[in-house]
Amino acid sequence: MTTDALHRGGAGGSGGSAPPEPALLKVDQLTRHFKIGNALSRRTLHAVDDVSFTVGEREIVALAGESGSGKSTIARVLARIYEPTSGTIAFGGRDLRTYKSRKDRLAYSGEVPMVFQDPFASINPVFRVSHGILRSLKLHRPDLSAQQRREEAARAFEVVGLNPQMLERFPYELSGGQRQRVGFAQALAMRPKLILADEPVSMLDVSIRIGLLNLMAKLRDEEGVSILYITHDIASARYVADRLIVLYAGHIAEAGPIEDVLSAPKHPYTQLLLSAVPDPTAPLTEITDRGEPPRVVDPEPGCRFRWRCPLAIETCARVTPRLSELAPGHAVACHVAATGAEVKAFTS
């Protein structure tokens, strides 16, 4: 299964057409392992294994999965916080391994900024809100004068729905939703092409999450910014994303246009995620889940979901499933689904 196949069928914003080629971001067979233990019992944690996907222009791609699935690790590799163990990443057609000089690294981090999960932790509480955004502008856009940096900061605040006067406030004077908007403003001020949004709404009240999701859609549609949206919330992904990539234990389980994936999920794990979304109109039913945690420390070959899957067959214990395209742009890594059999493991 190639990244080009995963790229086909993306909604590409609100227009509903496939995003243009080549992809803005192309990740090919990305792997990230961590060494754990001591010298006498050295083991390897497989955080991400052989992950391939793309993000197109003006597109929101959601990476969804439970805690420990590898979502945030992928974001941190893309942000160059971690180096990949293997695999390649190309941004704008250029391999990230060629970004070696300080100038190149600053240019990349300005075009691909990250918005973190905890908005308060990403803002220095000692300084006014303006400190962080003006410092970023001075670092990433040195061509701007002090006055122009002020104007750009005010513009970014207005785009994300904040009054520019809030630049003079301290972080503790803002609400959680306002602080998260500050994070998006800091990213937007650098005129990015792609924003890595790591669980940006998970720490916010439900009543204000919709505002942040609408903001992400606005940045895509009006500012032309692509977003890699990391989340464990399928409902929010469905609201804002064009394509969905479902991760489990460091592997891609399923990927495709979000409505195709959620209306006809082919992987048992995707069905499990959907069954956990409350439906007030549905009758109460008991969902059977064996609850075995994924085994990602020195894992054996085979499907990593087999310990929880009621449909597991003998092949699942021996062979790691590969992504196969069951419909245009809709790929699944499941031995049972690949046979063409109807997959109904979990229902809500």
Per-residue tokens: 233 = 């919330």
Best CA proximity match to 233, nearest among 204, 194, 268, 201: 201
User: Model confidence over 155-210: pLDDT tens digits?
Assistant: 999 999 999 999 999 999 998 888 889 999 999 999 999 999 998 888 777 778 88
Range from 136-145, 272-281, 332-341 carrying the lowest mean pLDDT? 272-281
Q: Which residues of 41-79 are buried (b: 16+ CB within 10 A; e: fewer)?
A: eeeebbbbbbbbbbbbbbbbbbbbbbebbbbbbbbbbbb
Is residue 30 over pLDDT 90? yes
At 35-59, the pLDDT tens digits run 998 878 889 999 999 999 999 999 9
- Summarised one tens digit per residue, pLDDT across range 76-89 is 999 999 999 999 99
Residue linked to tokens 């940096």:
149
How many Cα atoms are found within 13 Å in the side-chain-facing hemisphere of 29? 6
Which tokens belong to 49? Answer: 């294994």
pLDDT at 17: 42
Task: Please compute the mean of the pLDDT values over residues 100-111 and round it to a whole number.
Answer: 91
Q: What is the predicted pLDDT for the residue at 8?
A: 46
Predicted pLDDT at 269: 92
pLDDT band at 25 (very low <50, low <70, confident <90, very high): very high
Query: What is the pLDDT at residue 20?
Result: 46
Rounded distance, CA 70 to CA 75, Å?
9
Average pLDDT, the chain: 86
Q: Residue 186 and residue 183: Cα distance in Å, rounded?
A: 5
Q: What is the reported pLDDT for 125?
A: 87
**Does the pLDDT of residue 13 top 50, yes or no?**
no
Question: In this structure, is the dihedral angle defined by the CA atoms of residues 172, 178, 183 and 188, taken in order, positive or negative?
Answer: negative
Answer whether 304's CB lies under 8 Å from 249's CB. Answer: yes
pLDDT at residue 290 in the model: 55
pLDDT value of residue 343: 66
Q: What are phi and psi of 266, to 5 degrees?
A: -105, -25
How would residue 275 be classed by pLDDT, with cut points 50, 70 and 90? confident
Tell me the two tokens of residue 267. 């992987």
